[in-house]
Structure 1
Amino acid sequence: MLEVRELNVSVATGNTQSHLVSDVSFTLKEDQCLGILGESGSGKSVSCSAINGLLGEQFSVSGQAIFDGENLLTMPSKQRQDMRGQQIAMIMQSPMTAFNPLFTIGNQAVETIKQHQPHSTPDAKKLFCEILSKVNLKNPQYLLSKYPHELSGGMLQRIMVALALVLKPKLIIADEPTTAIDYISQREVINELQMVRERFGTSIIFVSHDLSLVSHIADSVLVMHQGKMVDYGSTQQVFNAPSSQHTRYLIDTRLKLINRFKHVMGGV
């Protein structure tokens, strides 16, 4: 469904070009989840924003991103804009800032739906309430009346999952959707994304720096470091037999933290 070939991203800094992403390639099939793993600044979010056409004019993007037979990187801007949300949805990493604080959740959901589909306002609200119920959010009418600051980060993130799902996209890009929320909310968001795959057959790109979350949800994993891909394969292959020293370092560091935690808790 999506094949990325030799994706390169650079940004103009004065009279020079700084390379942010170099030669990233991967394939995502229907009803699969790809985990993109790496520390902050490794190029994960930049790669996804480039694929989705969300980078500014100061960025230069080359390579190919073939989605359903069409190259997203050379697609006319109007066609690409229509595709965003409709066929490719994105879940941002900071739910508290992703929503406009001046409007209710209902206002923003209706605006998103009507931008892509010819629904009336009542029909758009009804559609969104149905999706909220499907992702196990109770009292959807109550949620529509709330402003973003009146809801928790975990609740907003789950609403964002529903908003991404409402237009029935083929692909959801989840850009570190669990970064700013607590552990229980993280698990709820992961469960919602897994439910989306099972119920709707939606493909997912899950971006994270958390090895445990990626191993829990992803079928395949791409590891990035300093703008380059250093490991790529099935989740089991990458975590059990990593080919790069950097991936081994990430896994070893994670294990040390777990063992240290167990040691400290055992001494309590």
Structure 2
Amino acid sequence: MRVASIFIAVLGLWSFRDYSSLSLSLPLTYGPIICEIDFTLKSRGDDMLEVNRLSIYTPEQKPILQNISFTLSKGKTLGLIGMSGAGKTMLSLALLRLVNPMFHVKGDVQFQGKSLLSLPSKDMSRIRGKEIGFLTQHPHPAFDPIYTVGEQMIDTIRAHFSYTKKESRKVITPLLRSMAFRDPEYLLQRYPFELSGGMLQRVMITLMLALKPTLMIADEPTTALDTVTQREVLDQWSTLRDDQEQSMILVTHDLNIIGKFADEVLVLQSGVVVEHLTVEQLFTNPSHSYTKNLLRFYRKLNGGTSDGD
């Protein structure tokens, strides 16, 4: 089956390839834990995701994440912010159970009543992609260079739906047009190395739109896109969230995107949540000095504006 390596990882196709090499190859550059604070989002009675005291340690028992707790309701977006190395990507991988297998994971992750950390591998594979989607910030390693983009997209769709190749193509083509690809048929015949990083990123986003996962985890999803394409992609997500009540965990350095899409925000510093607040509080009344510094730095870079307007 012609499915790219990251697609195997995040779209639930683990039966075709072992994930351990992928996990071990991930860069792990996280600073020391500076404190131990447990924040929990207020339950609204319709929580689809509940993370309880999630901690990750290296084989030497060095903490990478410590006592992370939060809940996420259906149709809501949670932003994860913090400097590079704060643990945002590691938290995303932990929710997908893609952490380096040599590491020690403690705590509990409940998704729609299922404990993800204790599910059999086959059950977890079915959840990845169809129920929980993941967009990585590095698109090129996500594709197998010896197969066309079309072959990989169609096989990915067919792994989750009982579609023929023709039916899969009919699903993909209009979505590619919505991602600003003027000639989808030409694109589907290209090999990954013939496309730019921004184009490959849009291909991955197209697949997520086609699969319509209940929960989307997006790790810096628009970094490879130009401003116009960013706006188009974000508009698509907004529509999907409203129409499908899709929930999202949004990892980004761009506080403008946080302001537009997030309902609540977790601020991570060196693997610890130092503040949980609403998006309005983030821009008007942050309490932690680290959060204030993030906001101050972003405003300085962007000419004094970072309120999501």
- TM-score w.r.t. structure 2 length? 0.77
Which structure 1 residue ranges, 4+ long, deviate > 4 Å from structure 2?
133-137
Please state if 1:197 is matched with 2:241: yes
Where 1:85 maps in the other structure, the secondary structure is coil
Change (3 A) 1:144 1:177: same
Match of 1:172 among 209, 216, 225: 216
Is the CA contact 1:65–1:73 (under 8 Å) kept in the aligned structure 2? yes
| CA displacement at 1:72 relative to structure 2 | 0.9
Partner of 1:5: 52
Provide closer, same or farther for how the CA distance between residues 201 and 260 of structure 1 changes in structure 2, counting only shifts above 3 A.
closer
Relative to structure 1, is the Cα distance of residues 188 and 155 closer, same or farther in structure 2, using a 3 angstrom cutoff?
Answer: farther
Counterpart pick for 1:111 among 155, 176, 179: 155
> As a proportion of its length, which structure holds more helix?
1
Give the aligned partner of residue 272 of structure 2.
228
Contact kept in structure 1, 2:179 and 2:233, CA below 8 Å: no
**1:97-126 per-position Cα deviation (integer Å, ceiling 9, x unaligned):** 322222211111122122222322222222
- The one-letter code matched in structure 2 to 1:11 is T
Given the alignment, which residue of 22, 32, 40 partners 2:76?
A: 32
Partner of 1:79: 123
Please say which of residues 21-30 and 120-129 is displaced more in the overlay.
120-129
The Cα of 1:182 is off from its aligned counterpart by 3.5
How far is the alpha carbon of 1:135 from its aligned partner?
4.8
Counterpart amino acid of residue 142 in structure 1: Y
Match of 1:265 in 2: none
RMSD: 2.0
Q: Deviations over 1:173-198 (max 9, x none)?
A: 10111233333333333223223213
The letter for the 1-side match of 2:50 is E
Deviates more, 1:214-223 or 1:182-191: 182-191
Structure-to-structure mapping, 1:1-268, within 5 angstroms: 1-12=48-59, 16-133=60-177, 135=179, 137-259=181-303
Q: Which amino acid aligns with 1:175?
A: D
* Count of residues paired in the alignment: 258
**SS of the counterpart of 2:275?**
strand
Give unpaired runs (5+ residues) of structure 2. 1-47
User: 1:89, 1:165 within 8 Å by CA — same for their partners in 2?
Assistant: no
Q: Is the 8 A contact 2:201 2:224 kept in 1?
A: no
Change (3 A) 1:145 1:4: same
CA deviation profile, 1:130-183 (whole Å, cap 9, x unmatched): 433455644322221122233333332222111112222101110111233333
Verify the 8 A CA contact 1:104 1:147 in the aligned structure 2: yes
Q: Name the TM-score, length of structure 1 as normaliser.
A: 0.89
